[in-house]
Chain A
Amino acid sequence: MINKRVVRYVVIKILVYLITLFVAFSIVFFFLRLIPGDPVSRFIRLIEQRYSIQLAQVTQEIINEYKRKFGLEGDIATQYVSYLNRVFLEFDLGPSFLNFPNPVQDLIAWRLPWSIGLLGAATLISWAIGILAGTLVGWKRGSKIDSIMFTISLCMSQVPFYLLALFLVMFLAYIFTIFPPRWAFSPTVTPGLNLAFISSVIYHATLPSLSLILISSLGWLISTRAITITILGEDYLLFAQAKGLRKIRILSRYLLRNTLLPQTTGLAMSLGFIVNGFYLVEWIFSYPGVGTLLVQAINALDYNTVQGVILISIFTVLTANLIIDLIYPLIDPRVRGE
Chain B
Amino acid sequence: MLSSLSKSTLTFKIGFFILLSLVTLAVLEPYINNYLLRGHSSTEIGLFPKLLPPSLEHPLGTDHFGRDIFSLQLTGLRYSLIIGLLAGGIATLIAVVIATTSGYLGGKVDSALNAMTNSVLVIPTLPILLAIAAYIRMDLLMMSFTLSIFSWPWPTRVIRAQILSLKERPYIDLAKVSGLNSVEIMFFEILPNLMPFIGVGFANAVIGAMIAETGLRLIGLGPGDIPSLGLLLFWSMGFGAIAQGYYQLVLAPAILLILIFISLNLVNIGLEDMFNPRLKRITGL
Contacts and interface: CB of A to CB of B under 8 A. Distances in A.
Interface of A: 20, 23-24, 28, 31-32, 34-37, 141-142, 154-160, 162-163, 166-167, 169-170, 174-175, 225-226, 229-230, 268-269, 271-273, 275-277, 279-280, 283, 294-295, 298-299, 301, 306-307, 309-310, 313-314, 317-318, 321
Interface of A is mostly: helix
Return the 3 tightest CB-CB contacts between A and B, nearest first: A276-B126, A275-B124, A158-B265
B282 A162 contact: no
B109 interface: no
A82 B243 CA distance: 47
Given A160-B211, A226-B283, A28 B128 contact: yes
A35 B242 contact: no
Nearest to A295: B219
Interface of B: 11, 118-119, 121-128, 130-132, 134-136, 207, 211-212, 214-215, 218-221, 233, 242-243, 245, 247, 250-251, 254, 257-258, 261-262, 264-266, 269, 282-284
Given A157-B265, A230-B282, A280 B219 contact: yes
Given A141-B284, A294-B127, A318-B123, A156 B215 contact: no
A306 B219 CA distance: 15
A310 B283 contact: no
Given A31-B132, A276-B215, A160 B261 contact: yes
A207 B214 CA distance: 21
Contacts of A160: 211, 214-215, 261
Contacts of A174: 242-243, 245
A166 B245 CA distance: 14
Given A34-B132, A155-B262, A160-B215, 19 more contacts: A31-B131, A32-B131, A35-B131, A35-B136, A158-B207, A159-B261, A166-B250, A167-B254, A229-B284, A272-B124, A272-B125, A275-B124, A283-B219, A294-B127, A295-B219, A298-B130, A298-B219, A299-B134, A310-B131
A163 B284 CA distance: 30
Contacts of B258: 159, 163
Given A159-B262, A160-B211, A229 B121 contact: no
Contacts, number: 136
Nearest to B11: A154
A279 B242 CA distance: 20
A162 B218 contact: yes
Nearest to B264: A158
Contacts of A314: 123-124
28 contacts: A24-B119, A31-B132, A34-B132, A35-B136, A37-B135, A141-B284, A142-B284, A154-B266, A158-B207, A163-B258, A163-B261, A167-B254, A226-B283, A268-B122, A269-B122, A272-B122, A272-B123, A273-B121, A276-B215, A279-B126, A283-B219, A294-B130, A306-B127, A306-B130, A307-B131, A310-B128, A313-B127, A314-B123
Nearest to B270: A154
A36 B131 CA distance: 12
A276 B283 contact: no
Contacts of A321: 122
A283 B245 CA distance: 20
A226 B134 CA distance: 41
A70 B121 CA distance: 30
Contacts of B215: 160, 162, 276-277, 280
A317 B120 CA distance: 12
A169 B251 CA distance: 12
Nearest to B14: A155
